[in-house]
Amino acid sequence: MARFKKIICFALAAVMALGTLCACSSIDDTDPQTATTTSESVTDTPATDVTSQTDTPAETQPIAEPENWSYDFGWEFISENGLQYIWDRLDEDTRMNLGEVMNAIRDVQMYCPLTVGVPRDEAEKFLELVSNCSMFYTYASNSFGLHTDENGIVKGVTLNYLVNYESEAAQRCEELEAKLQEIIASAPTDNEFDRIRYLHDYLVLNCDYGEDAISPFSAYGAIVEGIATCQGYADGMHLLLTRAGFETAYAIGQGTDTDVKHKWNYVKCEDGHWYVIDPTWDDPENKDDPDYIGYDYLLVSDDMLLKDHATKFDSDYYEVPVADSMDMNFHIMVGYYTDDPDEAYEILLNQAIEAARDGRIYLYLRSSTGDAIDNIYTELTSGTAGDNKIQDIIKQANEAAGTNYDSTSWLKSLNTNIGTLTLTLKDAE
């Protein structure tokens, strides 16, 4: 039976803003509790709104209990949010605090007492961990109320939600899980590269960057609504990879705007290496063609990413994966990688013919350095007007496929920071 219990929210004072991650978050402080007052007895905490573990928004996902599980709270949040990598690396106190809060969010509780607690001066970074880990619980707000004892230890957290009824939270989880499973069911199973690429391409093609949605800062926005910011893209990619059986993690850092935090993904491949995926930056906000798929940030190393991303932050709670290989990089895997202009000509020619036959208009190339890719493009476009190698490539593609692409005009995206080139073919007028 669907639940229609109203979620009652209480206004708390002294708002403090958390760091921005494509969205604003906030913390509210209550007055410190006395030493004899327990977290459960806070008068503005509706204890009657605590829901049962057997009637949760994610109850449709039966999950086997992990071996040697010794906690009083449930374990399901780990699988639902794809947190195994993070959970395995947390210290015991953080596990207790995170596990209790995540279960309270899972059960749509208004208040969560903390057995261990968090020092007040560490509460902000702990609640940022909670917000970033709540990737499947997209009904949860990034606004919290803190209940601090006389020793300066946060012993309870008031939780806020983006929905009015528990049934709405359950519906969000059901819709998100159903869509995730639908996407995964269509993904190829032959090899991990094709599987990862499919999930990446699906997200880029079916989500637009923006905030004009119910939940643009969440996986629900990215996967269900099709509109999201960087956090929605990253959370959606994380859940897709997790449901597809990959070990995953995330990183927080900064892109080109150092005033705003940015989030991207890590996936571990069969070669034992971690790789970066930044689906947000592979789906430019200003793109003209909804069918465009960027591949600059599909399975790259940290070194490559940080050539045009400002910063990757360390975590105070666990070791963020290190992506130290380019072996599984998109361009390398599909044969679009070279430093040699003559080889680049052949790669682009074969791509152009295949693209023309398939009705596609994008050609991709990567080199080891920005200087190398710049030199390749210069070599391919040198010569008199109407007589250079790019024009020759387009003419041969037209002849092979019977198409009518303009051989005198094309669009280029040349990223000399990371050594990539994307050419866009244009129809002749």
Asked if 200 and 305 sit in the same domain, the reply is: yes
Model confidence at 17: pLDDT above 80: no
Asked if 188 and 311 sit in the same domain, the reply is: yes
- What are the structure tokens assigned to 164, written together? 């009015």
Contact between 202 and 252 under an 8 Å Cβ cutoff? The reply is no
* 2-16, 161-175, 284-298, 310-324: range with lowest mean pLDDT: 2-16
Q: Which one, of 45, 161, 179, 163, lies nearest residue 112 by Cα? A: 45
Asked if 176 and 308 sit in the same domain, the reply is: yes
Q: What is the mean pLDDT of the chain?
A: 87
DSSP assignment string, 215-259:
STTSHIIIIIISEE-HHHHHHHHHHHHHHTT-EEEEEEEE-S-TT
Number of residues in the chain? 429
Identify whether 48 is part of a domain: no
Asked if 326 and 411 sit in the same domain, the reply is: no
pLDDT at residue 37, rounded to an integer: 30
The 3-state DSSP class for residue 89 equals: coil
User: Residues with Cβ < 8 Å from 324, sequence gap 6 or more?
Assistant: 273, 274, 301, 302, 303
- What is the average pLDDT across 295-320? 97
Identify whether 46 is part of a domain: no
Contact between 353 and 397 under an 8 Å Cβ cutoff? The reply is yes
pLDDT at residue 327, rounded to an integer: 99
* 6-20, 66-80, 83-97, 317-331: range with lowest mean pLDDT: 6-20
pLDDT at residue 213, rounded to an integer: 80
Asked if 196 and 263 sit in the same domain, the reply is: yes
Q: Where does the pLDDT of residue 38 fall: very low under 50, low under 70, confident under 90, or very high at 90 and above?
A: very low
CATH code of 262's domain: 3.10.620
Q: Where does the pLDDT of residue 77 fall: very low under 50, low under 70, confident under 90, or very high at 90 and above?
A: very high
Identify whether 54 is part of a domain: no
Identify whether 66 is part of a domain: no
Asked if 135 and 206 sit in the same domain, the reply is: no
User: Residues with Cβ < 8 Å from 1, sequence gap 6 or more?
Assistant: none
Model confidence at 42: pLDDT above 90: no
Q: Is the dihedral of CA 346, 351, 356, 357 positive or negative?
A: positive
* 50-59, 126-135, 342-351, 375-384: range with lowest mean pLDDT: 50-59
Identify whether 236 is part of a domain: yes
- What is the average pLDDT across 122-149? 97
Q: What does the DSSP 8-state code read for residue 187?
A: S
Q: Where does the pLDDT of residue 385 fall: very low under 50, low under 70, confident under 90, or very high at 90 and above?
A: low
Task: Note the pLDDT tens digit of each residue in 246-290.
Answer: 999 999 999 988 888 999 999 999 999 999 999 999 998 877 788
- What is the average pLDDT across 301-325? 97
Task: Note the pLDDT tens digit of each residue in 94-122.
Answer: 999 999 999 999 999 999 999 999 999 99
pLDDT at residue 386, rounded to an integer: 66
| Identity at 59, one-letter amino acid code | E
Identify whether 62 is part of a domain: no
pLDDT at residue 62, rounded to an integer: 53
pLDDT at residue 63, rounded to an integer: 64
pLDDT at residue 21, rounded to an integer: 56
Cα three-residue angle 363-366-371, rounded to 5 degrees: 125
Asked if 180 and 305 sit in the same domain, the reply is: yes
Q: Is 134 exposed, middle or buried (0-12, 13-18, 19+ CB in 10 A)?
A: buried
| C-alpha 173, offset from chain centre | 17
Asked if 254 and 316 sit in the same domain, the reply is: yes
Instruction: Compute the distance between CA of residue 34 and CA of residue 150 in angstroms, rounded to an integer.
Output: 6
Contact between 134 and 81 under an 8 Å Cβ cutoff? The reply is yes
Instruction: Compute the distance between CA of residue 204 and CA of residue 298 in angstroms, rounded to an integer.
Output: 11
Looking at the chain, the whole-number percentage of residues with pLDDT higher than 70 is: 85
User: Residues with Cβ < 8 Å from 272, sequence gap 6 or more?
Assistant: none
* Full residue range of the structural domain in which residue 155 is found: 15-41+72-167
Model confidence at 30: pLDDT above 70: no
Instruction: Compute the distance between CA of residue 326 and CA of residue 307 in angstroms, rounded to an integer.
Output: 14
- What is the average pLDDT across 328-338? 99
Identify whether 8 is part of a domain: no
Instruction: Compute the distance between CA of residue 112 and CA of residue 102 in angstroms, rounded to an integer.
Output: 9
Q: What is the β-pairing status of strands 362-366 and 420-427?
A: antiparallel
Model confidence at 57: pLDDT above 70: no
Model confidence at 159: pLDDT above 80: yes
- What is the average pLDDT across 405-417? 95
Instruction: Compute the distance between CA of residue 418 and CA of residue 308 in angstroms, rounded to an integer.
Output: 7
User: Residues with Cβ < 8 Å from 191, sequence gap 6 or more?
Assistant: none
Global confidence as pTM: 0.88
User: Residues with Cβ < 8 Å from 255, sequence gap 6 or more?
Assistant: 230, 262, 281, 309, 310
| Identity at 417, one-letter amino acid code | N
From 280, 315, 333, give the residue that closes a domain.
333
Asked if 177 and 263 sit in the same domain, the reply is: yes
Asked if 345 and 422 sit in the same domain, the reply is: yes
Instruction: Compute the distance between CA of residue 191 and CA of residue 333 in angstroms, rounded to an integer.
Output: 12
H or E element: which one contains 410? Answer: strand 405-415
pLDDT at residue 286, rounded to an integer: 73
From 117, 139, 167, give the residue that closes a domain.
167
* Between residues 232 and 215, the one the model is more confident about: 232
Identify whether 157 is part of a domain: yes
Domains: count for the chain = 3
Asked if 297 and 376 sit in the same domain, the reply is: no
Cα three-residue angle 128-215-105, rounded to 5 degrees: 50
pLDDT at residue 66, rounded to an integer: 80
- What is the average pLDDT across 351-357? 98
| Identity at 428, one-letter amino acid code | A
From 139, 167, 195, give the residue that closes a domain.
167
Asked if 121 and 201 sit in the same domain, the reply is: no
